[in-house]
Structure 1
Amino acid sequence: MPLVVPGINSAPDSKSDWANKLMGKKLSDTTSDVNSFAKKDLPESHRVLKPDDFATTDHKPSRLNVHVGEDGTVHNVTYG
């Protein structure tokens, strides 16, 4: 198994980094506990997608897409 050192041989803020930070947490305006994540701490280029939200089909490789459920809990993180 190859050694992966964050920021050296992997892209900083890669999808897996964001997935580890966000999966299972609720997005909120401020971080109030360990089960939430503040929207202001997301990268500048991001969008939060709720079920049944319309999303443009333009592909922006650096844009973080945060997919949340009806209750605001993150269930998927993608780029594009």
Structure 2
Amino acid sequence: MPLVVPGINSNMGDKSEWVNKLMGKKISDGGSDEVNFAKKDLPESHRVLKPGDMKTMDHNPDRLNVHVNEDGTVHDVTYG
């Protein structure tokens, strides 16, 4: 079985690319600008996780997890 390392041999790309695009922004249903990032521009396999959200524990190396603060600002980006 081949080793799958997100950002190296995953089709999702490098984590730092998403960190640069999302950190400090809010995920919105509208368009993207200096303070917002449009949800429609996220990869198909993604989930936005707020503090206290329940989540499945299945590991999907191609799923982008966008972690937001209480106010909706992105503070972390992971794969899994």
TM bin (shorter chain): 0.7 to 0.9
Q: Percent identity at matched positions?
A: 69
What is the root-mean-square deviation of aligned Cα atoms in Å? Answer: 1.8
When the two structures are aligned, how many residues end up with a matched partner? Answer: 72
CA drift at 1:41: 0.2
Shifted more, 32-41 versus 46-55: the winner is 32-41
Q: Deviations over 1:26-71 (max 9, x none)?
A: 1101125311000000000000000000111100000000000111
Distance 1:61 1:35, change over 3 A: same
**Unaligned residue ranges in structure 1 (runs of 5+):** 1-8
Unmatched 5+ stretches in structure 2: 1-7
Bigger-Rg structure (1/2): 1
Distance 1:59 1:32, change over 3 A: closer
